[in-house]
């Protein structure tokens, strides 16, 4: 007589699906009317609307999105291509995207490309299979912009570079790094090492450009020997700092193109007994949460990560929904945040 406890049995698990037809029957209406009552309530009588809602409750109806998506050829899903979700800056951009997507009724598919062209290619396919209505890219294109222009679906960049075409969102990377370096120069530094990124990385290129511009503006000769190429990871900042310590004459300041490498560098310096900022000043870029809480607190450039994601998301959805494609490049304001590490 024991009751059957098969809450756990796989699959059969799903409560028998109730369809719009069940609702229609329960309400004594046609499926068409039910559909309209739910999607365009104003097209339906007060009375029927009530009947439908009651029936929906009664049979515990949940519309089958798969069916709706097929019929309408829309998935209400956005594909977010992230080079690495574990990177705090990208995680914040993604959070901004997700929040906005939620507000506008969209879901977010997460595609972590790990800088692998294979994975990127695969994810691109997802859009072509109608699983997503559009794409938000967080890394600027490797290839020249032209190659992407042809994408047969809406693509928006949330963290563009100088070459990124519209619609897209970015900050003025060149100008920002210019400010950072100018700030150090103003404090008397003239020999400033740079921890950059991979040679071909678009953000690295932009920021390095700002670095050179600032030096030039101050009449300081650019010395390629002072530029090291890291991988954006802390470890590579750590290693770069050791190389910098070995230089002679020793630089008095280090600019890093992101916060993580700056933090790695600070650790390397501390390990060698070099004091920051009194012996060497260090700056980062991005203003991730840890920047404010590192020891010493890191001077850096704040990028409005969440806002960038949010804006990109708005642009994409507007595009998808045909409120015309926004042909602008949105440059959001950055802020030089001066903290302890720059003296």
Partner DNA sequence: TCCGGATTTGCAATCGATTACATTTTTTGT
Partner DNA sequence: ACAAAAAATGTAATCGATTGCAAATCCGGA
Task: Enter the tokens of residue 123.
Answer: 């994810």
14 binds DNA (CB under 7 A): no
Q: Which of 26, 33, 167, 181 binds DNA (CB under 7 A)?
A: 33
Q: Which stretch binds DNA (CB under 7 A): 22-30, 109-117, 228-236, 248-256?
A: 22-30
Strand partners, 107: 77
Question: Please, which residue, 32 or 151, has the CB nearer to DNA?
Answer: 32
320 binds DNA (CB under 7 A): no
Cα maximum dimension of the chain: 92
Which of DNA, a second copy, none binds 213 (CB below 5-8 Å, type-dependent)? none
Task: Enter the tokens of residue 201.
Answer: 């990385």
CB proximity list for 304: less than 8 A, separation 6 or greater:
171, 332, 333, 334
Question: Please, which residue, 36 or 334, has the CB nearer to DNA?
Answer: 36
Please tell me whether residue 194 adopts helix, strand or coil conformation: strand
* Cβ atoms of residues 261 and 237 within 8 Å: yes
* Cβ atoms of residues 24 and 33 within 8 Å: yes
Residues in 51-110 that interact with DNA by CB under 7 A: 61, 63-64, 67-68, 70-73
Q: To the nearest whole angstrom, how small is the minimum distance from the Cβ of residue 92 to a second copy? A: 5
Taking CA 217 as the corner, what is the angle to CA 211 and CA 222, rounded to the nearest 5 degrees?
50
Kindly state the DSSP code that residue 286 receives in the 8-state scheme. B
Question: Please, which residue, 62 or 103, has the CB nearer to DNA?
Answer: 62
Which of a second copy, DNA, none binds 293 (CB below 5-8 Å, type-dependent)? a second copy
> Total residues at the site for DNA (CB under 7 A)?
28
Q: Which stretch binds DNA (CB under 7 A): 7-15, 36-44, 108-116, 235-243?
A: 36-44
Q: To the nearest whole angstrom, how small is the minimum distance from the Cβ of residue 107 to a second copy? A: 5
Which of DNA, a second copy, none binds 116 (CB below 5-8 Å, type-dependent)? none
39 binds DNA (CB under 7 A): yes
Which of DNA, a second copy, none binds 39 (CB below 5-8 Å, type-dependent)? DNA
Which of DNA, a second copy, none binds 290 (CB below 5-8 Å, type-dependent)? a second copy
CA-derived radius of gyration, the chain: 26
* Cβ atoms of residues 262 and 256 within 8 Å: yes
Question: Please, which residue, 205 or 298, has the CB nearer to a second copy?
Answer: 298
Distance of CA 63 to the CA centre of its chain: 31
DSSP 295-337: SSPPBEEE--HHHHHHHHHHHHHHHHTTS-----EEEE--EEE
Which of DNA, a second copy, none binds 21 (CB below 5-8 Å, type-dependent)? DNA
Question: Please, which residue, 36 or 212, has the CB nearer to DNA?
Answer: 36
Nearest residue to 40 via CA among 50, 49, 30:
49
Question: Please, which residue, 89 or 211, has the CB nearer to a second copy?
Answer: 89
Kindly state the DSSP code that residue 341 receives in the 8-state scheme. G
* Cβ atoms of residues 101 and 313 within 8 Å: yes
125 binds DNA (CB under 7 A): no
Residues in 275-304 that interact with DNA by CB under 7 A: none
CA–CA distances in Å: residue 267 to residues 224, 256, 274, 280? 24, 14, 10, 12
Question: Please, which residue, 47 or 323, has the CB nearer to a second copy?
Answer: 323
Which of a second copy, DNA, none binds 217 (CB below 5-8 Å, type-dependent)? none
The 3-class SS string of 13-37 reads CCCCCCCHHHHHHHHCCCHHHHHHH
Which of DNA, a second copy, none binds 45 (CB below 5-8 Å, type-dependent)? DNA
Which of DNA, a second copy, none binds 100 (CB below 5-8 Å, type-dependent)? none
Applying CB under 7 A, which residues contact DNA? 17, 19-21, 28-33, 35-36, 38-39, 43-45, 47-48, 61, 63-64, 67-68, 70-73
């Amino acid at each position: 007589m024991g009751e059957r406890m098969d809450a756990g049995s796989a699959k059969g698990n799903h409560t028998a699906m109730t369809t719009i037809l069940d609702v229609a029957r329960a309400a004594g209406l046609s499926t068409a009317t039910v559909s309209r009552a739910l999607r365009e309530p104003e097209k339906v009588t007060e009375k029927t609307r009530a009947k439908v809602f009651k029936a929906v409750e009664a049979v515990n109806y949940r519309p089958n999105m798969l069916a709706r998506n097929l019929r309408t050829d829309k998935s209400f899903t956005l594909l977010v291509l992230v080079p690495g979700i574990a990177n705090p800056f990208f995680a914040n951009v993604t959070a901004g995207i997700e929040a906005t997507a939620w507000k506008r009724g969209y879901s977010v598919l997460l595609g972590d490309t790990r800088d692998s062209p294979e994975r990127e290619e695969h994810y691109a396919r997802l859009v072509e299979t109608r699983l997503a209505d559009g794409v938000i890219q967080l890394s600027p294109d490797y290839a020249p912009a032209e190659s992407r222009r042809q994408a047969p679906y809406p693509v928006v960049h949330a963290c563009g570079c100088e070459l990124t075409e519209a619609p897209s969102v970015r900050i003025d990377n060149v100008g920002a790094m210019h400010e950072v370096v100018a700030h150090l120069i103003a404090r008397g530094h003239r020999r400033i090492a740079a921890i950059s990124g991979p040679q071909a990385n678009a953000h690295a290129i932009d920021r390095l450009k700002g670095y050179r511009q600032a030096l030039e503006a101050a009449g300081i000769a650019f010395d390629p020997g002072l530029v090291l190429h890291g991988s954006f990871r802390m470890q590579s900042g750590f290693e770069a700092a050791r190389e910098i310590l070995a230089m002679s004459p020793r630089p008095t300041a280090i600019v890093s193109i992101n916060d993580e490498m700056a933090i790695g560098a600070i650790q390397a310096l501390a390990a060698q007994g070099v004091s920051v900022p009194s012996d060497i000043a260090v700056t980062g870029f991005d203003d991730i949460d840890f920047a404010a809480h590192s020891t010493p607190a890191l001077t850096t450039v704040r990028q409005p990560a969440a806002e960038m994601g949010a804006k990109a998301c708005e642009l994409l959805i507007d595009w998808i929904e045909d409120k015309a494609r926004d042909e602008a490049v949105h440059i959001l304001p950055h802020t030089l945040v001066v903290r302890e590490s720059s003296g």
